[in-house]
Each structure stands twice: as C-alpha cells, then as structure tokens.
C-alpha cells in the first residue's frame, strides 16, 4: 500500500469518527415524490431530487438513500429556482437582504444593472453585496447610461473618439469586475443621446469578453419597430447576443405591432443573429414621471438645467405641449387616470394617487394640458416614480408565447408596506404560473419554467444553474401548481405571492412554512470576464 493511500485512509477514518452521523448519510436533502419540471421544457415526470452540499447529486424516479432531511413533495412541482435577469434590486436589497418578495415566488437568482444603469465601477458595489448576507444569488450587468454619464455627462451630443475609448475601457473594467454584459437604456437620458454606432462600439467590448447586450430600447411606442431593428443591429454588428428587455408595445395607437417586432426577431434568428426577449406579465410599466412623460431634450443637463429651463415661460409651455402628446399617445395611456404615482421622496402621501388626482389637487383644468402641467409640477418638486397603464394585453400574450421570450420582473425589493410600487416586484413569476399558465392556458407549465429558469441561465452563461440535473447548483423551487398565484395588485401591491412551499438556494432551505429562513445562502455570481483581484 502506498504511503499516500495510507495517509488518505487515515484521514478518512479520523474525519468519519469526528463527524455526527447525519454527515455520513449520502444526501443532505432529498425531495421526494415530486412532479419534476426540470427546466428544459420537457414534460414533467415523477421522481426525487437529492442534494449534497450546494449541489444536486441525483434526479430521477429511482433515487434511493437516506438523507439528513427529507421533504415530501407529493402533489407539488419541483423545478429549478427562477432566474430574474432584470431587476432593480439595489433599491431595497440592503434594507431587506432576504429579498423575500422574490424568494417567495421561487426566485433564486436576481440580476441588477439593467436599463443602462449600474454603479461604475462595479467592484466596490459587488464587494458590498458579497459582504451582506443576502438570500438569493446576485449578478450584474454594467450600464451604458452610467458609463456615458461618467465620461460625457448628461449632454446631447455624440461622444468623441477619446470618450469612446474611455467608455470602452469602463465596459472592459465592468466585465473584469464580474458583469454578465452591457445593458443600455436608450429610452433614458443620457443613453438617449448616444448614436447607435457608439453603442455598437461599446457592446463589442462586452461581446469579446463573453457578455451579452441587453437593452431598454430607444422607443417602445410609435418607433418600437425601428427600435427592435436597432437592437438587432447592435447585436449583429457588435458580434454578441442582443436581448430586448421588458418587451412591450406602449400606447393604444401602436398596439398590435408586436406581430412586426417578433417577426423581426424571427428573421434575425433565422440569419444567425442571437436575438432574444424578456418580459414582465403586466399591462402597466413603471419608471420616473419625468422619463416617462417628458421629451428627452427637456431632460438634458441634469436637475439644475431642468429647473432653469422651467423658469423660461416659452420653454415651459413647449415642454407642457410635448408632454401632453406623450400622455395622449404613449406612456400616459391617453388619460391622466392611467398614470399612478408609485412613490415620491418629498411627499409620501402622493403614493397611490393618479396624475388626475394631482391635477385636480393643483386646481388645473381637467384636460391633457392640465395633466402635463401636473407632471411638470411633480418634476419641479423633485420628481416621483409612476406606474403607466398603456400596454396592450394582446401584445403581452403574443410576446409571452414566443419561444425566444423569457420572464424578467423589472422589479425591486420593496420595503413592505412602503409607497405604492408596481406589483411586478411581488408577483411576476407567480403571475405567469397562476394566471397565464393555469387560468389562461397561454403557455404550458413546462414552457413557463423554461422561460424562468433554463432560458435565462443559458442566456447569461450560468451553466451550473437553471436545470434540475446532477452536478448543477441546488437552486430549487417547490410549489403547488393548483394554488400558485400572485396576490399583489396595483391598488394593494404589498402582498406576497402564494403557493410556493419551499425554496432551496445553494443547497440550503431559504424559504419554508410561509417564511424565509435564517440561512441567507445567496452568493454573488461573476460573469465570463471576471478577473479576481
């Protein structure tokens, strides 16, 4: 017997003697008698899932052996934990590190930094997240808008060659810090001031390092078709996958155009462009009142410039007139009652009121012009976030059915009971399973799980998550397909989803018996260009 083998045997004997008996069992966790929906889209089958440490070690109908903990999942579905690649979880994550609005829906990984907005640089922020005991896994994109803001400012002009190189260096740094790609918000200032070519040059850097491009497009209303073309072009010429994030059609006059946008995606994919989509299952969007209802030029230069601009009566009148058109045709949904205030730092009592309420409170005329002036007043006071009911259900369903569409919430981590946030933070994944799968039959359960787990994992290169298979990280959701349901509404948003029984993250039970556990097993996940310092 070799010296090395003897040593190994001795070490084994010592370790075995020192450990409590549970540690000698083959599995730490065994979920038995489940309907397994494995994430691939294949039909469910009955079986068991076994976990050791942070890893799935066995899945199938014949998994045998003792486990430290057994969960009987008779009547329940076991699926991979859901991956949400569009969140604004920075809002609230440090106050509520359990992110339970997400975990209670079966979400086990959240991505931040969408819409062109991220910390720059990323490394200190990710270190802060890593030092915080959080429940779900956490990953990031680096934001084009934030980088442009840093290098060019909030100014409406193309970047110089020197500035483009500086921005490229920041994209590269973001990828080295662990980003999974470049996000853009070309709808927002300052992203809106960037020509397509600039975005291509920056996206190419992320692409060379294995990242994707994910975009809140320049326009989701009258120019939505052009915007899809632009997104596809950025992916095609930048040489990287391109994702249309929270795809929707804004404005009644444009409803139905998803037939055209999806055709463009199909055509792109047919010629080899890796274009994909994500979506939240609601017919209202949410962002700042200013971004939603104001023309871009009026938002140039930051807060001081905006306040100064409003002091000039002629400019103010022009902003009001253009905003009235946006309220009529786009995010205003044609009526001030379709704009709801989500939160205002300077007056918490406005949360839940509509723009029509604010207009009436200010004694403004009950017209679109009056609504536009109410919006100006809101921006002047410091701005509010709003909810905008202007998305067509028919488009939502058509987009959800498309095989290249995955699910992403665009939500945040709300402080329970505070303000009047969009219900998507509490309900997105449960709504797809309860309303669109069970009640409406728009897609199958297996397809929904694919869109919420395997597909976003594949998109972001998380090769060890998103599917129930031996060797994968043990991120698992256990739910009742007959009762899973979103409870949050626009009127009463602070309601957790129901029907999820257990959530396992990195092998630890993070949610059970209606409550998040003390485990907080979430990790920071680093992207393909990550270089450890």
Shortest Å, Cβ 343 to Zn ion: 17
140 and 126 Cβ atoms separated by less than 8 Å: yes
Shortest Å, Cβ 246 to Zn ion: 5
Q: How far is CA 529 from the centre of its chain?
A: 21
User: Looking at beta carbons only, is 176 or 216 nearer to Zn ion?
Assistant: 216
Q: Which residues pair with 243 in a beta bridge?
A: 214, 276
User: Looking at beta carbons only, is 278 or 446 nearer to Zn ion?
Assistant: 278
Binding marks (x or -) toward Zn ion, 61..100, rule CB under 5 A? ----------------------------------------
Contacts of 240 (CB under 8 A, 6+ apart): 181, 203, 204, 206, 207, 211, 212, 213, 274
Q: Which residues pair with 477 in a beta bridge?
A: 79, 503
Q: Are strands 284-288 and 275-279 parallel, antiparallel or unpaired?
A: unpaired
Angstrom distance (rounded) from CA 76 to CA 257: 38
Instruction: Pick left, alpha or beta for residue 474 (phi over 0 → left; psi -120 to 50 → alpha; otherwise beta).
Output: beta
Contacts of 33 (CB under 8 A, 6+ apart): 46, 48, 72, 73, 74
Instruction: Transcribe 145-197 into DSSP letters.
Output: HHHHHHHT-S-SSPPPHHHHHHHHHHHHHHHHHT-SEEEEETTSTTGGGS-HH
Shortest Å, Cβ 409 to Zn ion: 11
- Residue closest to Zn ion (Cβ): 216
Angstrom distance (rounded) from CA 451 to CA 466: 10
Shortest Å, Cβ 86 to Zn ion: 7
Shortest Å, Cβ 101 to Zn ion: 18
User: Looking at beta carbons only, is 168 or 288 nearer to Zn ion?
Assistant: 288
Element housing 205 (H / E): helix 196-208
User: Looking at beta carbons only, is 115 or 447 nearer to Zn ion?
Assistant: 115
**How far is the CA of 452 from the CAs of 34, 259, 331, 431, 456, in angstroms?**
19, 23, 27, 12, 7
User: Looking at beta carbons only, is 135 or 215 nearer to Zn ion?
Assistant: 215
Residues 475-514 that bind Zn ion (CB under 5 A): none
User: Looking at beta carbons only, is 414 or 499 nearer to Zn ion?
Assistant: 414
User: Looking at beta carbons only, is 115 or 508 nearer to Zn ion?
Assistant: 115
Residues 106-165 that bind Zn ion (CB under 5 A): 115
Shortest Å, Cβ 370 to Zn ion: 28
Shortest Å, Cβ 384 to Zn ion: 17
Binding marks (x or -) toward Zn ion, 200..239, rule CB under 5 A? ----------------x-----------------------
Shortest Å, Cβ 7 to Zn ion: 57
User: Looking at beta carbons only, is 50 or 289 nearer to Zn ion?
Assistant: 289
Give the CA radius of gyration of the chain: 24
Burial environment of residue 89 by CB neighbours within 10 A (0 to 12, 13 to 18, 19 or more): buried
Residues 259-278 that bind Zn ion (CB under 5 A): none
The residues binding Zn ion (CB under 5 A) are 115, 216
């Amino acid at each position: 017997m070799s010296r090395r083998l003897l040593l190994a045997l001795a070490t084994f004997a010592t370790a075995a003697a020192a450990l409590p008996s549970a540690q000698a069992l083959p599995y730490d966790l065994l979920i038995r008698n489940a309907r397994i929906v494995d994430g691939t889209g294949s039909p469910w089958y009955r079986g068991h899932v076994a976990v050791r440490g942070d890893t799935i070690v066995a899945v199938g109908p014949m998994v045998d052996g003792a486990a430290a903990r057994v969960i009987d999942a008779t009547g329940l579905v076991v699926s991979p934990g859901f991956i949400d690649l569009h969140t604004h979880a920075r809002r609230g994550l440090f106050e509520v590190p359990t992110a339970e609005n997400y975990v209670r829906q079966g979400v086990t990984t959240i991505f931040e930094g969408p819409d062109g907005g991220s910390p720059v640089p990323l490394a200190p922020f990710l270190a802060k997240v890593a030092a915080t005991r959080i429940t779900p896994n956490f990953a990031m994109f680096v934001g084009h808008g934030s980088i442009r803001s840093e290098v060019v400012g909030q100014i409406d002009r193309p970047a110089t060659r020197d500035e483009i190189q500086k921005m490229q260096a920041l994209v590269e740094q973001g990828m080295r810090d662990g980003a999974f790609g470049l996000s853009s918000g070309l709808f927002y200032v300052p992203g809106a001031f960037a020509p397509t070519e600039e975005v291509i040059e920056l996206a190419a850097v992320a692409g060379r390092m294995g990242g994707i491009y994910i975009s809140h497009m320049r326009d989701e209303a009258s120019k939505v078709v052009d915007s899809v073309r632009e997104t596809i072009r950025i992916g095609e010429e930048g040489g990287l996958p391109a994702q249309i994030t929270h795809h929707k059609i804004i404005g009644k006059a444009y409803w139905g155009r998803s037939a055209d946008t999806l055709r463009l995606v199909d055509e792109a994919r047919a010629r080899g462009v890796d274009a994909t989509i994500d979506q939240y299952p609601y017919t209202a969007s949410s962002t700042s009142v200013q971004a939603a209802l104001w023309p871009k030029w009026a938002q140039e230069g930051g807060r001081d410039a905006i306040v100064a601009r409003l002091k000039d009566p002629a400019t103010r009148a022009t902003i009001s007139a253009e905003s009235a058109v946006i309220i009529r045709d786009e995010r205003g949904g044609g009526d001030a009652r379709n704009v709801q205030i989500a939160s205002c730092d300077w007056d918490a009592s406005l949360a839940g009121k509509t723009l029509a309420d604010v207009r009436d409170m200010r004694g403004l005329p009950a017209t679109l012009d009056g609504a536009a002036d109410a919006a100006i007043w809101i921006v002047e006071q410091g701005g509010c976030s709003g909810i905008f009911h202007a998305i067509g259900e028919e488009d939502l369903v058509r987009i959800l059915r498309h095989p290249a569409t995955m699910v992403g919430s665009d939500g945040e981590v709300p402080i329970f009971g505070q303000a009047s946030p969009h219900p998507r933070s509490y309900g997105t994944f449960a709504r797809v399973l309860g309303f669109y799968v069970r009640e409406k039959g728009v897609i199958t359960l297996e397809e929904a799980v694919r869109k919420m787990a395997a597909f976003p994992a594949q998109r972001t290169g998380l090769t060890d998550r998103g599917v129930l298979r031996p060797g994968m990280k043990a991120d698992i959701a256990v739910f009742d397909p007959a009762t899973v349901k979103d409870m949050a509404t626009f009127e009463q948003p602070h309601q957790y989803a129901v029907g999820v029984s257990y959530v396992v993250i990195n092998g630890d039970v993070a949610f059970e018996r209606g409550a998040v556990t003390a485990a907080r097993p979430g990790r920071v996940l680093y992207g393909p260009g990550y270089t450890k310092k």
